[in-house]
């Protein structure tokens, strides 16, 4: 296989990596907000439940979690889902997206919680004086300020996610790192890994640039 054929093959893997990245953000960002609400619940049992969930997701390796979601149904419930296909999507890909989403939702939840709890109590009191109900207070007054404050740590997690997509190789999902590994083994050369590294860097650079533009767009909250 010549160099350009190898690059074309890696571009196909990059598309799969991008799909994992996009779907993880699509599910984990709103789920993280829900978990943050649970973590801040006034009901002790609910608060403790979400605290345990976050502790498990942050305290165990993501690769181990991917294995759990892929092999767990068979070993725990004796249900084989390996041949399951949803809208033409293999279960191994679904397991990767589920694992990534639940893992990153735990991290985003703590970032959301830190942002929400950093807002002064006076903001809530002022909103009540203006006649806003709790929902209006959160989405019109609190949340816009939270978004501004949490963008830097969210950016760090998003950049980490780009690199973590390579862990999908553990379930043999044909993302970029998996293809680079196969090409390197087949051709006994490090070139596929070097090209994949360049692609990852460009991907991360684009993500960092986009997040920086969003951060500058929110400068009016100063």
The most confident of the ranges 85-99, 121-135, 201-215 is: 201-215
Asked if 57 and 215 count as a contact pair (C-beta separation under 8 A), the reply is no
Mean pLDDT value of segment 1-7: 78
Mean pLDDT of the chain: 89
Mean pLDDT value of segment 36-60: 94
User: Where is pLDDT greater, at 79 or 188?
Assistant: 188
CA dist 60 → 34, 55, 68 (Å): 21, 8, 11
d(CA 90, CA 205) in angstroms, rounded, equals 30
Architecture of domain 3-119+151-221: Orthogonal Bundle (1.10)
Each residue's pLDDT tens digit, 55-81 = 999 999 999 999 999 888 877 777 766
Residue 18 has pLDDT above 60, yes or no: yes
Mean pLDDT value of segment 80-91: 70
- Percent of the chain exceeding pLDDT 90 equals 54
What is the largest distance, in Å, between two alpha-carbon atoms of the chain? 70
Domain boundaries, the chain: 3-119+151-221
User: Where is pLDDT greater, at 11 or 81?
Assistant: 11
Q: How confident is the model at residue 187 (pLDDT cuts 50, 70, 90)?
A: confident
Mean pLDDT value of segment 143-155: 90
Burial of 216 per CB tally in 10 Å (0-12, 13-18, 19+): exposed
Give the pLDDT confidence score for residue 66 in this predicted structure. 94
Per-residue buried b or exposed e for 111-149, using 16+ beta carbons within 10 Å of the residue's own CB: bbbebbeebeeeebeebeeeebeeeebbeebbbebbbbb
Give the pLDDT confidence score for residue 134 in this predicted structure. 83
Give the pLDDT confidence score for residue 129 in this predicted structure. 86
Each residue's pLDDT tens digit, 122-140 = 888 888 888 888 888 888 8
Each residue's pLDDT tens digit, 100-125 = 999 999 999 999 999 999 888 888 88
Give the pLDDT confidence score for residue 82 in this predicted structure. 65
């Amino acid at each position: 296989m010549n160099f350009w054929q190898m690059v074309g093959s890696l571009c196909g893997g990059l598309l799969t990596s991008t799909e994992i990245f996009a779907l993880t953000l699509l599910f984990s960002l709103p789920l993280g907000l829900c978990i943050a609400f649970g973590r801040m619940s006034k009901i002790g049992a609910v608060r403790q439940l979400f605290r345990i969930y976050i502790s498990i997701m942050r305290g165990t390796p993501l690769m181990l979690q991917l294995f759990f979601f892929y092999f767990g149904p068979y070993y725990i419930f004796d249900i084989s889902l390996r041949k399951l296909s949803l809208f033409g999507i293999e279960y191994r890909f679904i397991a990767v997206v589920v694992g990534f989403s639940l893992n990153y939702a735990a991290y985003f939840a703590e970032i959301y919680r830190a942002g929400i709890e950093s807002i002064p109590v006076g903001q809530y009191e002022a909103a009540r004086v203006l006649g806003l109900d709790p929902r209006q207070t959160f989405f019109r007054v609190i949340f816009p300020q939270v978004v501004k404050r949490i963008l830097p740590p969210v950016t760090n997690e998003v950049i980490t996610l780009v690199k973590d997509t390579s862990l999908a190789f553990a379930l043999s999902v044909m993302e970029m790192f998996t293809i680079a590994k196969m090409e390197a083994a087949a051709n006994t050369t490090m070139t596929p890994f070097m090209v994949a590294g360049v692609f990852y860097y460009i991907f991360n650079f684009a993500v960092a640039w986009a997040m920086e533009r969003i951060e500058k767009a929110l400068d009016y909250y100063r």
